[in-house]
Amino acid sequence: MKYKVLSYGCKVNTYDSGLLQKRMNSAGFHEDQDSPDVVLLNTCAVTHEATKESIRHVRKVKKNHPQAKVVMTGCAAQVDSKLLLESEADLIVANSHKTTIQDHIKDLLDNKNTQKLYRSNIFKKEELEPGGGLETEHTRSFVKIQDGCNSFCSFCVIPFARGKSRSLSVESIVNRLNELSEMGVKEAVLTGVHIGDYLDESTNSGLEDLVEQVLEQTKMPRLRLTSLEPIELTPRLLSLFKASDKLCPHFHMSIQSAHTGTLAAMKRKYTAGDVIDCFQRIKTELPHAFVGMDVIVGFPGETEQDFLTTYQNLERSSWAQIHVFPYSPRPGVYANRLDGQMLRHDIMERAKTLRALGVKRHKEFLQSQVGQTKELLLLSKRGVVQSGLSRDYCSVEFSEPLAHKAGELVKVKVTGWQDGGMATSGGFLQGEIV
């Protein structure tokens, strides 16, 4: 029997989709993008719109593959299962039952299925599987080190979708990275729902301990970390970045706001001062690092002055990219009950203002890179190698396809940059191999 997986949302879902492929292959299925018997939608639920998008995609899949059964899994299947039951999906398997999804699919295809939804209390889920997350061409891989979250921020549904924080052991992560290295993977991204919560309880090892062991015990040429909160970028962790060529000088900071009152309403554990200090410490210790961030605008109770404070604090900080998220009410989160809910138009105006700053800053960053020489990991798109990713997270494109193979590490001189207009990316770099 044939299958294919469609993945939505974050890097953790990309990893989980790799696990889905692993389970399906082990159960005797094989992947087929063109004529699958079953299509798995690994859904996202970070916003209510993400859930609705998944439901719309069910109809699209049914149109493109009328013979196929559609199975929905992932976060939306866990927290929005009632909505998904109203869709045209044939089977819904929540995160609580993801490890046995292949068995439920077999029953469905054998007409043995007696129910449409498999779901239970996610907070009782203890297991966490190594493996998964391999990108095409075996050049980069996501390695999930942790899942779940204990923070319960007032705007976030993810703890209810993923459960409590739980982590893989340092040993299993080291083994997985060495396995990937032997397969030819040149870059691994250590990812999780909240990697700042990482804790190997068997050895009492936190994130800094894990990173230190990974650097000492693996041959992976390049390593990245996904999102961190400002107070999680500790002096010890920053010193590891400074001391090792393996750790890519690339930080994605989950700040959400640079106004202390708004952060408190969000139930974040840090202040605007911590945000500013974090950016300053990166600039001092690693002045050439690429720094990106996530920011929510229009949070309930955020006044015009509060937003202006966030804007001014960010304007005087050093960073290269910003992802702006207009606040969107989501069923089931505490923030819906807060006073000061804003009109959508006003929220989008704030988003537009902050995005303009982001585009301006990213263009300035791109301009500053022209003339520099970078190490590039070559990537392919539809079998054509014409771009790559630098250690400091710059996408560099070439004027013509290369004869090189994806996965090679090459030295490249940045010859110019392409203006992306007012697109959120701001543009991309152009280069030639030296």
225-261 per-position pLDDT tens digit: 999 999 999 999 999 999 999 999 999 999 999 999 9
- d(CA 53, CA 317) in angstroms, rounded, equals 35
Task: Give per-residue burial for 138-148: e unless 16+ CB within 10 Å, then b.
Answer: ebbbbbbbbbb
pLDDT at 425: 67
127-146 per-position pLDDT tens digit: 787 777 655 556 788 999 99
Distances (CA, A) of 200 to 193, 237, 263: 15, 17, 29
pLDDT at 138: 61
pLDDT at 133: 61
Q: Nearest-5° angle of CA 147, CA 265, CA 161?
A: 25
Q: pLDDT category, 424, cuts 50, 70, 90?
A: low
Domains of the chain, residue spans:
2-120, 136-368, 370-433
pLDDT at 427: 81
Q: Is the pLDDT of residue 215 over 90?
A: yes
In angstroms, the first-to-last Cα distance of the chain is: 47
389-413 per-position pLDDT tens digit: 999 999 999 999 999 999 999 999 9
Q: Provide CATH code, domain 136-368.
A: 3.80.30.20
Q: Is the pLDDT of residue 222 over 80?
A: yes
Out of 3.40.50.12160, 1.10.1740.10, 3.30.479.10, 3.40.50.11260, select the CATH number for domain 2-120.
3.40.50.12160
Q: Provide CATH code, domain 370-433.
A: 2.40.50
Q: Do domains 2-120 and 370-433 have the same CATH topology?
A: no
362-396 per-position pLDDT tens digit: 999 999 999 999 999 999 888 899 999 999 999 99
